[in-house]
Amino acid sequence: MDDHAGSEIENAGHACCTPGRAPSAAAAPAPESANDGATDGMVRLGGSFLMGTEDADGFPQDREGPIREVDLPPYWIDPVAVTNARFAEFAGATGHRTDAEKAGWSFVFGAFLPADFEPTRGIAAAPWWRQVFGADWRHPEGPASSVEDRLDHPVVHVSWNDAKAFAAWSGTRLPHEAEWEMAARGGLEQARFPWGDELEPGGRHAMNVWQGTFPSRNSGDDGWLGTAPVDAYEPNGHGMMNMSGNVWEWCADRFDRQARAIRGGSYLCHASYCNRYRVAARSFNTPDSSTGNMGFRVARDAS
């Protein structure tokens, strides 16, 4: 990553997980809804579950605990994250310009940049993150890249504002953290992952996270170096896919006064420095921030 070294920039959010822009007061108006929020393909959930964790390998500063019983009214949630193809339909119908497009840049994992890429600025606390001009959802690694060969992968380089705009257009909304965690748990009580407590159940890979030594070597043993298709790996007990690893997912809730919550971890998570791919783990970023490992899925109220 030194090949792309430049000056350092300040960071908001968890630098190791998802670097961010300083918060902005501006928010784009929501586009007119394209439909009535049909629930085709969505999963209906609700009821009581135990939320949170008090595991010793958690992060107390993230307020993962205490464990508490939460009762949720019925709701619908997508089993997969929003794909590049779905986001392209939204952008084409509305002319929506993402925060990354308006800013002219987004954060890209440095190892994805070619050796001869122009100098980039990085995050002091996480130099593997580079500020890449021309990076956006259509060009995940900069102007020369494309999503044409990954239309079934989750859209990335989308901010909370962008995710909320998509939801408004599609007649849906972003899930609340409790809704997201109930879905991720798949009906299991206090398991670490959507499928149970083993990182690799039966010796098989169940999610897309870093394999090897972070940040210098990723073997890709789980099948992917960057994002994976939204339906990769086995679904959990609720039929939900990729709720651990792959991409962080924006939630409706505030994490604090300036930031919004994100859940699920990403393809960059590794037990050695950021085991936030556990279902109870939380992180955050400012609502106009975008990176190559943040996406979202949508939900809807159920009657």
Does any domain span residue 34? no
What CATH code is carried by the domain that includes residue 295? 3.90.1580.10
Asked if residue 28 belongs to a domain, the reply is: no
Angle between helices 160-170 and 84-94 (to 10 degrees): 80
pLDDT of residue 52: 94
Band (pLDDT 50/70/90 cuts) for residue 18 is confident
Q: Is the pLDDT of residue 12 over 70?
A: no
Sheet strands side by side (includes 43-51): 43-51, 68-77, 299-301
The confidence score (pLDDT) of residue 2 equals 46
Side-chain-facing half-sphere of 205: CA atoms under 13 Å: 18
- Which 3 state secondary structure label does DSSP give 197? coil
Q: Are 62 and 283 within 8 A, CB to CB?
A: yes
Q: What's at 285, amino acid-wise? A: N
Q: Is 29 a member of any domain?
A: no
CA angle 84, 287, 271 (to 5 degrees): 75
Across 124-190, the runs of DSSP E, i.e. the strands, are 126-133
Q: What is the number of domains present in the chain?
A: 1
Q: Answer yes or no: is 145 within a domain.
A: yes
Which runs of consecutive H residues, i.e. helices, occur in the chain? 84-94, 99-103, 160-170, 177-185
Spatial distance between the Cα atoms of 7 and 110, rounded to a whole number of angstroms: 14
- Does 4 score more than 70 pLDDT? no
Domain assignment present for 237: yes
Residue 7, pLDDT > 70, answer no
Q: Which range among 61-65, 154-158, 229-233 shows the weakest confidence by mean pLDDT? A: 61-65
Instruction: Give yes or no for residue 90 having a pLDDT over 80.
Output: yes
Instruction: Please give the Cα distance from 195 to 240 (Å, whole number).
Output: 10
What residues have CB less than 8 Å from 21, skipping those under 6 apart?
12, 99, 103, 286, 288, 289, 290
Mean pLDDT of 50-78: 90
Q: What is the mean pLDDT of residues 95-106?
A: 98
Q: What domain range is 232 assigned to?
A: 2-23+43-301
Residue 38 lies inside a defined structural domain of this protein: no
In this prediction, residues 68-95 reach a mean pLDDT of: 98
In a domain, 31, yes or no: no
Name the H helices within 186-301.
none
Q: Tokens 């690799």 appear where?
A: 200
Contact 167, 174 (CB under 8 A): yes
Apex 30 CA angle, 26 and 34, nearest 5: 160
Give the residue-averaged pLDDT of 142-149. 97
249-262: per-residue pLDDT in tens?
Answer: 999 999 998 999 99
CB of 30 within 8 A of CB of 170? no
Task: Evaluate whether residue 163 is within a structural domain.
Answer: yes
Spatial distance between the Cα atoms of 160 and 252, rounded to a whole number of angstroms: 8
* pLDDT value of residue 272: 81
Taking only the tens place, the pLDDT of each residue in 268-300 is 999 887 789 999 999 999 999 999 999 999 999
- Dihedral over Cα of 98, 16, 259, 168: its sign: positive
Express each pLDDT in 36-47 by its tens digit: 667 899 999 999
